[in-house]
Amino acid sequence: MNRKIVTAGVTAALTAGMAGAASADQVRIGWTAWADAEFVTQIADHVIQERFGVDVELVQTDIAPQYTGLASGDLDLMLMSWQPITHEDYIERYGDDIVDLGVLYDNAKLGWVVPAYLYEQGLTSIEDLRDPEWVDRLNGQIQGIDPGAGLTRLSHDVIEEYGLDYQLVEASDAAMTAALHRAARRNNPIVVTGWSPHWKFGAYMLEYLDDPKGVLGEAESIHAMARQGFEDDFPEIAAFAGCIEIDLEMLNDYMRLGREQSTEAAVAQFLESESGLVDDWVACARN
């Protein structure tokens, strides 16, 4: 079977609607280079190919092109829709043109994150960041992630709502964790935009800053989304996506393994150790 991966080099064509409609004999799954998105998408990729006998093409791109790709029919699936707050604007814009297949896991959380040593020094709330001492120690910067992420949009809202004199540094998940690693290694001050599940909470002692205004929202659910007509074209696979259910702590453990070894190693271990759970998902899809 054909496991084909399309990366950033061709996503411009997808965004422009030039990649062509989804194939009748292949499932195109959009994914973003976030630790949880990569792991869950690779699990689905393996199961769809090996248990349902359908080829998969993985299209790595930002969140916004994934929603537009689903709405236009250029993508079949995405497995990383944060609801109800983080991707609220995308759901409002494209909700009538895409299909919600169900919750993959819940109790996910967004927030601004600091190493525990800063928390112990008194940086416990976003409101504390107004203190000129913290502005100076942090060089007036908050380390963020990619521009298209809902967390990035909400983080700009945080800066406005709290009246903070900070620049949000927009970068990738990898750049954010690299900056966190450099700071933690030297006990330097840093604030990063973060979420759980994520392997960094197993690798470092971290704390979420309190968000008394609730700008970043409460616990959220991660949903599988599909293009219109996908359930008719691939009923078992649509049902399978809706049957996936992963415990958050289990997901954290496997993402930590993925960080220590590789995502591929973590996926292989999951498929072997959690084969009973995968069997349940497949049985659910076929009932």
Kindly report, residue by residue over 21-53, the tens digit of the pLDDT. 556 689 999 999 888 999 999 999 999 999 999
Which residues are CB-neighbours of 263 under 8 A, at least 6 positions away? 35, 38, 39, 42
Q: Is the peptide bond before 84 cis (omega within 30 degrees of 0)?
A: yes
Euclidean distance between CA atoms 141 and 153, whole angstroms: 16
Cα dist from 134 to 57, 137, 181, 190, whole Å: 46, 5, 20, 10
Same domain for 231 and 101?
Answer: yes
Same domain for 187 and 247?
Answer: no
| Max intra-chain CA distance, the chain | 60
Structure confidence by residue, pLDDT tens digits, 226-285: 999 999 999 999 999 999 999 988 998 899 899 899 999 999 999 999 999 999 999 999
The whole-number pLDDT of residue 249 equals 86
The whole-number pLDDT of residue 24 equals 66
Contact between 154 and 110 under an 8 Å Cβ cutoff? The reply is: yes
- Residue 20 C-alpha from the chain's centroid: 25
The whole-number pLDDT of residue 7 equals 43
Closest to 34 in 3D by CA, of 205, 217, 203, 176: 176
Tell me the residue range of the domain where 43 lies.
3-106+221-286
Query: Among residues 208, 240, 255, which one ends one of the domains?
Result: 208
Does pTM top 0.95 for this prediction?
Answer: no
For residue 226, the tally of other CB atoms under 10 A from its CB is 25
On whether residue 215 sits in a domain, the answer given is: no
Query: Among residues 143, 174, 208, which one ends one of the domains?
Result: 208
Instruction: Look up the CATH number of the domain holding residue 137.
Output: 3.40.190.100
Answer whether residue 19 shows pLDDT above 80: no
Residue 104's region, left for phi above 0, alpha for psi from -120 to 50, else beta, is alpha
